[in-house]
Structure 1
Amino acid sequence: MFSKGQLIFAVLFFIAFVCVMIFTYRKDLKLHKHYYKGSLWILIAFLLFIGVLFVIKSLLKE
């Protein structure tokens, strides 16, 4: 399906991409803590809302 060279390139690209993303995130960590304070609660509320919708759907299906 893929040649050996394409697979090697894909693996190396993935490793480089992850390293750059980690470096960038660590560099901006102070900004993230300042500007995105409380965003975890929004994520929890969103997941809870999706869960409630799933429960309602399963109850109404029966």
Structure 2
Amino acid sequence: MLCFKINEILTKREMSVYQLSKLTGTSKQNFSALKHGKFDDLKFSTMVKIANALAISLDEFR
């Protein structure tokens, strides 16, 4: 599940949802909901922003 993968990456990097939201320009509320498994449907453009902010490939979301 996407929310688990993003949470795993944030934990490994000791990064907060707030920091990720600032890097991507996406609201903290959306990331908080995603992190807690309450929202699991992201636009492709948002996924690209997350991947770029985390310096990872989109393939890592699989």
**Higher RCO structure (Cα 8 Å, ≥6 apart):** 2
TM-score by length of 1: 0.23
Larger Rg: 1
